């Protein structure tokens, strides 16, 4: 059991977590990986590396009890559990360190050592001793220039036993990024080759050479827990078919959200607004977030799909649109180059991409007569005459920059930049997709 952390974002946590998962999965071990905090992109890579679904762990958004249940269930099946942290080890409320401390997870620290030597040891020491009560597995140096550089880094550690090796800088296993995070695995023709390359490199380190018996030093016992299982109204969505947009433009989907809908009896059908010409027969529609700004021309050109979605909305059927899903419903999108694209025109208004991040952080939103937890993360703004039904609030202990995210409602459509974690209130989620709640 390891939690892969770092002193900051961009240090290589995902690369190392993927390498470790891929290395052990190739050796026939059952590997389960979790992602700390809200994130849609890293889990695609982690799932590819491990060969198993990846879920979120967050002491606030998903809840402590949910984290406990998922870790316990994984421990019953897996030979190795890996949790990838979020941002820096102590960043955020709650932080990766909070999660590690709550469940006694040993912390593997990944440090980008490309521009340091002796300071590497000071940084590793500081991370290990900043907070009492954390268990540390060791430190791994990333983006190292040479074996000689690695030797200097290793010598800088006060505790030699903390050294778990070094990964040299290599384009062969770099995971490319864009404005919202990592490029998705299926967009690259060599995604698995990159994972195999970094797994091969990790295999030469002290961490990579550890066998199952060695890893037992970092074993963790998880209690079954007596916390109440979340209330999934078993028949709340029985007989309801929900069409879920899923392709390169609409890809920000928590696997647990799909599980939540199915647990309440919904039948899920998937479609691609980029490729399909027909919206599947359905009672309700879910347009998740993603990258409509990268595919605006293709979305605009698919007039048959545009007509199908418009017909669904005009019939008063429910539609829940999150972030990118909401963006596509507006009349126009102006990209970062200043080029405007005509979109679906289901909602009046326009979206404009920005150079800088507009909003980020955990939030909660009053919707459909209840409250959902989730988060926001976007680089665009929207202008619309639609009335604001409600606004999101910051998570406890956090503050908002300006107003919270608006929830817009018209007919059966409810739309917001807010990304919801459905299991935070299954009953509220069910009401999003039931027509009687929109009549």
Tens digit of each residue's pLDDT (9 = 90 or more) over 297-335:
999 999 999 999 999 999 999 999 999 999 999 999 999
What's the pLDDT score for residue 383?
A: 96
User: Residue 358, Cβ neighbours under 10 Å: how many?
Assistant: 16
Residues 262 and 341: beta-carbon distance below 8 Å: no
List active site positions. 323
Q: What's the DSSP call for residue 234?
A: T
Task: Kindly list the distances between the CA atom of residue 44 and the CA atoms of 34, 180, 253, in Å, as whole numbers in the listed order.
Answer: 11, 14, 10
Q: Do domains 2-218 and 241-437 have the same CATH topology?
A: yes
Domain ranges within the chain, ordered by starting residue: 2-218, 241-437
What's the pLDDT score for residue 178?
A: 42
Q: How many helices (H) and strands (E) does the chain have?
A: 13, 26
In residues, how long is the chain?
A: 439
> What does the H/E/C string look like for 21-71?
HHHHHHCCCCEEEEEECCCCCHHHHHHHHHCCCCEEECHHHHHHHHHHHHH
**SS3 state at 173:** helix
- pTM, 2 dp: 0.91
- Which residues touch 61 (CB under 8 Å, ≥6 apart)? 37, 38, 362, 373, 374, 375, 395, 421, 424
Look at the domain 241-437 and name its fold: Rossmann fold (3.40.50)
Evaluate whether the domain defined by 2-218 bears CATH number 3.40.50.720. no
Mean pLDDT by 10 residues, the chain (439 residues): 95 94 95 94 92 95 93 92 96 94 96 96 96 95 96 96 94 59 58 91 94 77 62 87 96 95 97 96 97 92 96 96 97 92 95 90 92 94 95 86 89 96 95 78
Q: Whole-angstrom distance between the N-terminal and C-terminal Cα of the chain?
A: 50
Q: Which of 56, 57, 37, 33 is nearest to 45 (CA)?
A: 33
């Amino acid at each position: 059991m390891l939690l892969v952390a770092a002193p900051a974002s961009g240090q290589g946590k995902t690369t190392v977590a993927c390498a470790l998962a891929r290395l052990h999965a190739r050796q026939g071990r059952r590997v389960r990986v979790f992602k700390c905090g809200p994130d849609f992109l890293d889990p695609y890579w982690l799932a590819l590396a491990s060969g198993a679904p990846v879920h979120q762990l967050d002491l606030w958004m998903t809840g402590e009890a949910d984290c406990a249940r998922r870790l316990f269930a994984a421990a019953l099946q897996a030979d190795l559990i890996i949790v990838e942290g979020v941002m820096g080890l102590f960043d955020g409320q709650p932080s990766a360190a909070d999660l590690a401390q709550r469940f006694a997870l040993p912390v593997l620290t990944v440090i980008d050592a490309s521009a340091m030597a002796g300071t590497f040891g000071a940084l590793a020491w500081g991370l290990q001793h900043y907070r009492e009560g954390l268990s540390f597995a060791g430190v791994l140096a990333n983006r190292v220039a040479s074996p000689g550089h690695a030797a200097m880094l290793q010598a800088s550690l006060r505790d030699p036993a903390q050294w778990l090796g070094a990964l040299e800088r290599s384009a062969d296993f770099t995971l490319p990024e864009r404005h919202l995070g990592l490029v998705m695995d299926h967009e690259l023709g060599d995604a698995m080759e990159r994972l195999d390359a970094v797994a091969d490199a990790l295999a030469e380190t002290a961490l990579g050479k550890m066998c199952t018996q060695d890893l037992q030093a970092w074993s963790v016992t998880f209690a079954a827990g007596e916390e109440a299982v979340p209330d999934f109204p078993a028949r709340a969505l029985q007989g309801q078919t929900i069409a879920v947009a899923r392709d390169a433009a609409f890809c920000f989907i928590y696997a647990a959200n799909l599980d939540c809908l199915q647990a309440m009896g919904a039948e899920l059908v998937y479609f691609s607004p980029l490729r399909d010409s027909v919206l599947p027969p359905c009672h309700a529609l879910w347009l998740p977030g993603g990258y409509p700004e990268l595919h605006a021309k293709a979305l605009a050109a698919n007039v048959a799909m545009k007509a199908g979605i418009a017909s669904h909305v005009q019939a008063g059927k429910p539609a829940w649109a999150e972030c990118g899903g909401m963006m596509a419903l507006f009349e126009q999108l102006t990209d970062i180059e200043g080029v405007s694209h005509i979109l679906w025109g289901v909602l009046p208004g326009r979206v404009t991409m920005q150079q800088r991040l507009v909003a980020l952080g955990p939030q909660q939103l009053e919707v459909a007569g209840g409250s959902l937890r989730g988060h926001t993360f976007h680089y665009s703004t929207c202008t619309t005459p639609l009335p604001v039904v409600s606004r999101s609030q910051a998570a406890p202990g956090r503050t908002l920059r300006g107003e919270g995210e608006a929830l817009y409602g018209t007919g059966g459509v409810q739309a917001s930049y807010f990304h919801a974690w459905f299991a935070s209130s299954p009953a509220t989620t069910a009401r999003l997709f039931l027509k009687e709640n929109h009549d």
